[in-house]
Amino acid sequence: MEGLKKDVIRHVVSSLGSDYASKSAYNYYNALALAVRDRLIDNWIKTQRSYYDEKAKRVYYLSLEYLPGKSLMNNLHCLGIYETARKAMSDLGFSLEDLAEQEWDAGLGNGGLGRLASCFLDSMATLGIPGYGYGIRYDYGIFHQVIEDGKQVEQADNWMRVGNPWAYERGQHLFPVRFFGEVKNWTDEYGRLRHTWTAGDTVLAMPCDMLVPGWDNHHVINMRLWSARSDVEFDLDFFNTGNYLGAVEEKIFDEKISKVLYPSDQIEEGRELRLKQQYFFVTATIQDILRRFRKKHQDMTELPQSVAIQLNDTHPAIAIAELMRILLDEDLLDWEVAWDICVSTFAYTNHTILPEALETWPVSLLERMLPRHMQIIYEINARFLREVERVARSEDCGQLCHRDLDHLKQRVSLIQERPIKSVRMAHLAIIGSHSVNGVAALHTELLKARVFDDFQRLYPQKINNKTNGVTPRRWLWSANQPLSRLIASHIGTGFVRNLDELTQLEPLAADPAFREAWRAAKLENKQRLQAYIKRKLMRELHTEHLFDVHIKRIHEYKRQVLNLLHVVTAYNRLRHGQAADFTPRTVFFGGKAAPSYFMAKRIIHAINAVAATVNADSRVNDKLQVVYLPNYCVSQAERVIPATELSEQISTAGMEASGTGNMKFALNGALTIGTWDGATIEMAQAIGPELLFIFGMREDELVSLRQHGYNPMLYYHGDEELREALDMLRSDAFSPGQHGLFAPLVDNLLHGGDRFFVLADYRQYLGAQQDVGRLYLDQEEWTRRSILNAARMGFFSSDRAISQYAREIWDVAPMAGLQNGKGA
Ligand code: BZD
């Protein structure tokens, strides 16, 4: 402890240039972070060296998004110095919790996809897998959400304004990134046509490294984030021609590339800057990967034995064309050889079946910005369609039939003609990869049967499932110390590395003393949340209420509106005196809406309007409260999830690819009210469906309802309580003076076809909520189920997910000596 204290003081003085006697929490947080980073960097260097020494096969995880959240607490826990740090900082006059508050969340992602990437890096580090995360260091991460007059207002997230003590900026290792320009043809000595891309504009990519430690194993992997730097300073002519301001403007223009994260999820943003970001990221990453590979290899055909590249959705899929370009134009390989290398190296993870989220890029844009890549994509397509034709005409063509060949070719082509001629990035990713995976069993089945059914017939081995997982280090140990300590006191700490060990809790569910201790831990978390809400929102929570929580991005398919209709119905019953047996509850909502997503923003407004009415109504507000948690983010989830008793996972069946919040809640002892969707299905199967509150129509039932003509008006006319709730929303019951404010929400349900089947599931949802309320009155039974839920969540560790990727997709093994945890 004395060592850590000395290091912190030294950093306050010599790294931050401050007087250690002036007790600034900001300085002491930064100094502590630097002292922790010192303890990581030796192991990071040793880890990187060991990859070279052992000629290890490396895994590169390419993701435009990461959501690491805060690093301090996680790193202290991984290093096993949390207690030491707590005492050291207390001696210096600080509470560690307060210092940790100084850190800004690294919000370099939108939601589940970005958070999954961060969980996966944590697991690679813990399992000893030679992995690297690659991404973009956005200057502005996901916007900061404030609620003003009930509405979402976006503020810039200038997360690095106060510096980032965790990152190493490596300004000396810059990689050139080129755009535009033209392609020249030439003939090589064997008479083969060759191509050279002479690009117009150049910017530079600068690496910023963040260290990702494993759990108690000395293995530290790298997350390398690229930041755009202008090459203007390198081009002295610019300055020497006297156009100083022009040169500076150009510099600012170049550096715009990594300025801001696109804040939309589940919708493709067809903007030129977004494509620039993608290519900027991809080419810098591929150059770095090949630089490392070429240190030990000359023969490019050995690449797939040394390198696996995982594409996190299609956002980095242009990497396939980029690697082809390098192999063809720079290494001068033959097409077939280059293509084999690519397919064997790449693998692609799909995260959505929503058609509006499948990425396409206009051919005209690609031709201008990346002309050589567009040529390569055309060539990939031509060869692929010839292959499709060959397979279709062959005898064993299965369900393919050459009468339909033209249609089939149109459907699978990399190019779609309408509404504008564009490249389908998912098709490029599928064809250019040896593995295509979905993120939960149902999602993968839907990929095979619906979205990519043609590809499933063409390549029956390619599409596979890897159900998501979450890291127990952050989402149980670090976020929920009260519960973790209780668990550890009975079964030891092995579960942090091997989550299956939680099954040892099962017999304890029958032990009344253990149940009481479990409830006490939950209550401690509820009180902690209560204190936080009081500080931030100046609201008093009732900890004896059932804490019912719905936090995630706001999206119609996630159906926050269904939850809201339940709240309005409960409010009506209480008002009308029809709910004598109502179990008191506080309903929490939280989540960001894409700034351009009108309906999602209106949903936030409606939630806040209902909350204002309910909370102000003294007839009901001792029994029902509604809280909107502004600016939902990773660190907020770490506070809220441990305090949650009921987890809302109520997406339209078939629409949530997996969900990962669902796993974090159950792991922390919340019971789930949910639909038969995404990974919630597998959770119900692992836990026992009777221990969750499952309701609603299943995916196949919705398909048939749609086919037979779904009429939401039937539900409206047939259900008095539903009608009352909808009419109140449509009138100005919750928006006095602003008549019609929420009419778009209601009209969308009643007259817009209710695409997400809110009305179809309303009655069953109410029934399930009734069951929840009843069970909560029996605290012994509730607690028993809570314990069993957590005990059976072992499968949903990201360690299990990553082990499967490593074995079944990447063909990589953990580093020697790290398989069983502890490193040398
Ligand atoms: O990915 C999410 C899915 O919706 C979840 O069901 C799933 O659990 C997680 C992890 O697999 N998808 C996203 O989060 N998608 C995005 O954030 C995104 C971002 C940019 C563009 C498109 C989608």
Q: How far apart are CA 175 and CA 407, in angstroms?
A: 43
Give the domain-ending residue among 440, 467, 494: 467
Element (H, E) at 66: strand 66-69
In a domain, 282, yes or no: yes
Beta carbons of 787 and 508 less than 8 angstroms apart: yes
- 618 and 762 both lie in a single domain: yes
In a domain, 546, yes or no: yes
Give the domain-ending residue among 443, 467, 491: 467
Distances (CA, A) of 142 to 8, 154, 592: 31, 9, 9
Tell me the CA–centroid distance for residue 109 and ligand 1, in Å.
10
- 212 and 129 both lie in a single domain: yes
- 622 and 726 both lie in a single domain: yes
Active site residues: 351, 552-553, 558, 660, 664
In a domain, 613, yes or no: yes
Helix%, strand%, coil% for the chain, nearest 5: 55, 15, 30
The total number of structural domains in the chain stands at: 2
Q: Which residues, including other chains, have CB under 8 Å from residue 728's CB and lie 6 or more apart? A: 568, 572, 734
pLDDT digits (tens, 9 = 90+) for 171-223: 999 999 999 999 999 999 999 999 999 988 999 999 999 999 999 999 999 99
Looking at the CA of residue 262, tell me the nearest atom of ligand 1. 20
Tell me the CA–centroid distance for residue 370 and ligand 1, in Å.
27
Distances (CA, A) of 460 to 279, 436, 463: 30, 11, 7
Give the model's pLDDT for residue 1.
84
Tell me the CA–centroid distance for residue 350 and ligand 1, in Å.
9
Q: How far apart are CA 204 and CA 257, in angstroms?
A: 10
Helix axes 82-91, 25-53, angle to 10 degrees: 150
In a domain, 18, yes or no: no
pLDDT digits (tens, 9 = 90+) for 665-698: 999 999 999 999 999 999 999 999 999 999 999 9
Q: Output the ligand 1 site: residues, CB below 6 A.
A: 110-113, 116, 265-266, 351-352, 357, 439, 468, 656-660, 678
- 156 and 254 both lie in a single domain: yes
Closest CA to 339 of 379, 394, 395: 379
Of the residues 115, 138, 352, 660, which should be mutated to test ligand 1's pocket, given the most ligand atoms within 8 Å of the CB?
Answer: 352
Beta carbons of 31 and 9 less than 8 angstroms apart: yes
- 549 and 450 both lie in a single domain: no
- 138 and 244 both lie in a single domain: yes
Q: Which residues, including other chains, have CB under 8 Å from residue 4's CB and lie 6 or more apart? A: 35, 81, 84, 85, 88
Give the domain-ending residue among 436, 467, 498: 467
- 457 and 588 both lie in a single domain: no
In a domain, 381, yes or no: yes
Q: Which residues, including other chains, have CB under 8 Å from residue 256's CB and lie 6 or more apart? A: 228, 273
Number of C-beta neighbours around residue 410 at 10 A: 12
The residue type at 184: K
- 460 and 543 both lie in a single domain: no
Report the mean per-residue pLDDT for the chain.
Answer: 96
What the block records as the tokens of 404 is: 């339909």
- Output the domain CATH number for residue 651: 3.40.50.2000
Q: How far apart are CA 22 and CA 28, in angstroms?
A: 10
Distance of CA 129 to the CA centre of its chain: 21
- 441 and 556 both lie in a single domain: no
Query: Mean pLDDT for each 10-residue chunk of the chain (824 residues)?
Result: 96 97 96 98 96 95 98 98 98 97 97 98 98 98 98 96 94 96 96 94 97 98 98 72 80 92 89 97 98 97 98 98 98 98 99 95 98 98 97 68 85 97 98 99 98 97 99 98 98 98 98 98 98 97 98 98 99 96 98 98 98 98 98 98 99 98 99 99 99 98 98 98 98 94 98 98 98 98 99 98 98 77 44
What the block records as the tokens of 120 is: 């996966």
In a domain, 87, yes or no: no
- 671 and 533 both lie in a single domain: yes
Q: Of all residues in the chain, what percent carry a pLDDT higher than 90? A: 93
Cα Rg of the chain (Å, integer):
27
Question: What's the domain range around 634?
Answer: 527-780
Q: How far apart are CA 755 and CA 556, in angstroms?
A: 9
- 667 and 746 both lie in a single domain: yes
In a domain, 270, yes or no: yes
Instruction: Look at ligand 1, atom 18, and give the residue with the nearest C-alpha.
Output: 265
- 544 and 450 both lie in a single domain: no
What the block records as the tokens of 592 is: 């960001």
In a domain, 607, yes or no: yes
